[in-house]
Amino acid sequence: MHVLGRGFRPAILRLLAMVALGSVLLPPAPTMAAESAPVLAMYYAWFDINTWGSGKLSDQPTSPYVSADRGVIDRQVTQAQSAGIDGFELDWWGPGNPTDSNLQTLLSVAGAHGFKVTADVDLNSPFVQNAGDATNILNYLKRYFGDPSWFRLNGKPVVVFYGNRRFDVGTWSAIRNQVDPGHAAIWIGEGDVFSYLNVFDGIHPYSIAWSPDPSSQLASYAQRTRSYPGKLWMATVMPGCDDTRLGRPGGFAVDRAGGAYYTRVWQGAIATHPDLISITSWNEWLEGSQIEPSRGYGDRYLQLTRQMSDQYKSTPVSTAPSSGQSSARACFSEAAQGKGVYCVTDDGGVLFDDAFQWFGGVNALDYPSTQRFVQGGLIYQATQGAVLQWRPDYGHAVLANTFEWFTEAGKDDYLLATAGIPKPIRDDGSGGDWQKAKQIRLSWLTDDAIRQKFLSAGSVDRAIDLYGLPMSRPERHGPFITQRFQRITFQHWIESVPGMPPPGSVVRVLGGDLLKQLGMIPASAAQPSPR
């Protein structure tokens, strides 16, 4: 075993109470939805008569059709309206192909019914080879925004996107600056990389059927969306899916359970209080996600859609406490050393209890360890593992960059000497360029175990949201390797020490406890309340 330096073993023992926090989720900031609580459905307009005999479908429409037939489009619009659907999102490839001519027909038909239409701009289109092509087709699309049937929210035309991961956030920023610099339209991106919300006005997943627990997945997505203030959350519902006949390597089927699966997903979506709901799909027959009347199910899914759409439109958008409301209190004695309790509340419209619960409560943040306190004009409250910061401009709490606080207070030498926490690297060579700094600092993830723990958040962008960027490279200190981030420090234990995490473990240093230990919390806030 490595021989520990003088004074180091006591420091390790003190760290026993500062480890093993799991990943956390950011809390929501409820966003106002349109008053009509709109329901849209993904719509595909590329079918011809040969589609239905291809042998690639798990079910068939009640009557085979050609998508360009105006009478077919009229029937589909009427059926969708009867099911409580307010508009179609037509999968659109750009000008000069049937998806565009069928979009024009759909807009004309919709105008006669009071129905709404938007485009789901498909970045996998064969007509989009690069960012310049995307810019051109989006500029072309604007000609339709003045149509009375174009779907609008809060007076702005809405455009939905599919496959926006094809370009990075910086490229999308450049595209939008050319196409819509004043944000006159609402752009709703697709997927689960929430950093795209730095450019897009909202986000939604195209599919949710891959998840073994769609309701929990939707709740997680809603939380992540609402960590970006003012952004729209569009929840996705699906009746099931079956693309196993397409020959895809990742093809799979989700049993519809006679409609029970669809109902459960709807209920999970409604529970997230979305700004709008998107159905995947009206008629994606090749992927088996359609709700359009079929030989196998008749109009069962139209009936279910009507029921669930009515339920959604009668459900309040948000259940968060309003400003000034005093709501539930969560009081704990565990970090008070037998002297009382620390309570987390939503008093005064500062929604710390709301945030504490959304973060995951004790399991994610450990126990509250202070009262509220004010610092730099902002309100804070510490738990053993983190510090909640109230952001009135966001309307919700966030996690503070705790490990930047230690640098500002001149505590880096102390943390290195007593806890093996590396000093931050001040100059990363990026010259203040965010994208370059991100690339450089992520290259410091050279310890495989720490890197895996960081990426277990689900994606690089999610991990940055949760933990911040690395502030140091991994360093060996006694029986562990340590790497410091903006909001946490990870320890990768590589030697066996009695009473410590086993070798191979990657645990999190509890920054809130360290702040309190170093006297960086006001004394009055550190005092618990009487029981």
**Domain limits at 46?**
39-313
| The domain boundary residue, chosen from 262, 281, 313 | 313
State the pLDDT at residue 499: 86
Same structural domain for residues 301 and 435?
A: no
Same structural domain for residues 223 and 354?
A: no
Residue 2 in domain: no
| The domain boundary residue, chosen from 273, 294, 313 | 313
Residue 1 in domain: no
Q: Among 364, 345, 352, which residue's Cα sits nearest to residue 510?
A: 364
- Strand pairing class (241-242; 232-237): unpaired
Same structural domain for residues 262 and 355?
A: no
C-alpha 352/C-alpha 344 separation (Å) is 6
DSSP string, 136-174: HHHHHHGGGTTSTTB-EETTEEEEEEE-GGGS-HHHHHH
Residue 34 in domain: no
218 in Cβ contact with 189 (< 8 Å): no
Same structural domain for residues 309 and 336?
A: no
Residue 318 in domain: no
DSSP 300: H
State the pLDDT at residue 239: 97
Residue 462 in domain: yes
Same structural domain for residues 247 and 331?
A: no
C-alpha 479/C-alpha 10 separation (Å) is 13
Q: Render pLDDT for 234-243 as a digit per residue (tens, 0 to 9).
A: 999 999 999 9
Same structural domain for residues 258 and 344?
A: no
231 Cβ contact list (under 8 Å, min separation 6):
31, 197, 200, 201, 202, 203, 225
State the pLDDT at residue 36: 57
494 in Cβ contact with 503 (< 8 Å): yes
Q: Among 80, 91, 76, which residue's Cα sits nearest to residue 45?
A: 91
Same structural domain for residues 369 and 253?
A: no
State the pLDDT at residue 462: 67
SS3 for 269?
helix
| Greatest CA separation for the chain | 85
Q: Does the predicted TM-score (pTM) go above 0.85?
A: no
109 Cβ contact list (under 8 Å, min separation 6):
70, 73, 74, 77, 115
165 in Cβ contact with 191 (< 8 Å): yes
Count the domains in the chain.
Answer: 2
For helices 448-455 and 460-467, what crossing angle results, to 10°? 90
C-alpha 446/C-alpha 436 separation (Å) is 18
115 in Cβ contact with 4 (< 8 Å): no
Peptide bond into 125 cis (omega under 30): no
Q: Which position has the token pair 């093809």?
A: 251
State the pLDDT at residue 45: 97
161 in Cβ contact with 42 (< 8 Å): no
| The domain boundary residue, chosen from 260, 281, 313 | 313
Same structural domain for residues 14 and 87?
A: no
DSSP 27: P
Same structural domain for residues 402 and 503?
A: yes
Question: Tell me, what amino acid is at 302?
Answer: L
DSSP 179: H
**Residues recorded for the chain:** 531
Residue 293 in domain: yes
Same structural domain for residues 479 and 358?
A: yes
* CATH number for position 296: 3.20.20.80
Phi, psi (5° rounding) for residue 347? -60, 145
Q: Among 470, 516, 204, 232, which residue's Cα sits nearest to residue 371?
A: 516
Q: Which position has the token pair 């239905």?
A: 52
Token pair in block for residue 69: 């037939």
112 in Cβ contact with 70 (< 8 Å): no
* CA 77 centroid distance within chain: 31
DSSP string, 476-508: EETTEEEEEBSS-EEEEE-S--TTSPPTT-EEE
Residue 3 in domain: no
* CA 501 centroid distance within chain: 31
C-alpha 476/C-alpha 492 separation (Å) is 9
Same structural domain for residues 331 and 454?
A: yes
State the pLDDT at residue 103: 98
C-alpha 109/C-alpha 74 separation (Å) is 6
Question: Tell me, what amino acid is at 336?
Answer: A
C-alpha 132/C-alpha 112 separation (Å) is 36
94, 160, 290, 403, 416 from 42: Cα distances, Å:
17, 10, 9, 45, 55
Residue 33 in domain: no
SS3 for 521?
coil
The span from the first CA to the last CA of the chain, in angstroms, equals 46
Same structural domain for residues 147 and 228?
A: yes
99 in Cβ contact with 105 (< 8 Å): no
87 in Cβ contact with 38 (< 8 Å): yes
Give me the residues of the chain with pLDDT under 70, please.
Answer: 1-36, 315-329, 359-360, 457-458, 462, 531
State the pLDDT at residue 262: 96
